[in-house]
Homo-oligomer: A and B are copies of this chain.
């Protein structure tokens, strides 16, 4: 099952040429989920060939502009391009008020329905549970109500051992039961135990998105063992005071978060515009957690 994230924006609030504010497109089993939608996200989707029309769910972490100011433009464009299928939107409760006032004054009635679910940054809760994934909020500690999002694959089916299936000429209608762990009784009455016919499924993979937060242990339990952890790393650790004042994280702390929660891979992003070159941020995170990458515009990371 496809499970990958494409980075559309890597910058924090003040703009810098050639970086965009935060947005990421998750492709899970060929369904598109958008996480945050900073100004210019539409252009970034055009640039990196992400089809906006295919987005089914949008998750907004909080109401600082660098995380949502591209949303009304995106909704308008979907409308103008003829979308009629529903869109599922998740974010802080006032988000709908912000959208509605702008639609009202532009005299726009969207041609597609938005199903909105307000997030509550004080608790973790499941937002979505479909055939592929479960998405839950990660309560974070920022200056305003903010949640991250944890995308966990559903537990997978057991994997058929093709040569055994062929050897026993097991008919196709039995496959579904075998994948769920059933034994197989052959026409001659012989019982073949499931573990001789199938292998354990792949571990469910997960993507933990931790955007805009003071470094702290409060969310570590929830993100433990993430296949890929995205963690903001706005500053170098030399600016820890500024990070604390503004409720942000340093690259060193992002590395520590990955190490302490046993992530397999760390992506860092949300870089302050003061860093023209990002290599120092990467080196700092890698000094703690070597398997770190920069989550920069246009990069696609497979969650594996």
Contact = CB atoms under 8 A, between A and B. Distances in A.
A102 B98 contact: yes
A16 B73 CA distance: 13
B17 A46 contact: yes
A76 B65 contact: yes
Interface residues of A, number: 36
A14 interface: yes
A33 B106 CA distance: 24
Contact of A40 (B39, B63, B77, B92): B39
Nearest to A16: B46
- Specify how many copies of this chain sit in the oligomer: 2
A86 interface: no
B65 A144 contact: no
Contact of A94 (B16, B77, B105): B105
A15 B46 contact: yes
A105 B17 CA distance: 27
Nearest to A80: B14
B43 A15 contact: yes
Given A76-B13, A107-B143, A43 B20 contact: yes
A47 interface: yes
Interface of A: 13-17, 20-21, 39-40, 42-43, 46-47, 63-66, 69-70, 72-73, 76-77, 80-81, 92, 94, 97-98, 101-102, 105-107, 143-144
> Which 8 residue pairs of A and B lie closest in terms of their CB atoms, listed nearest first?
A17-B46, A63-B105, A94-B105, A15-B42, A39-B73, A40-B40, A69-B73, A14-B80
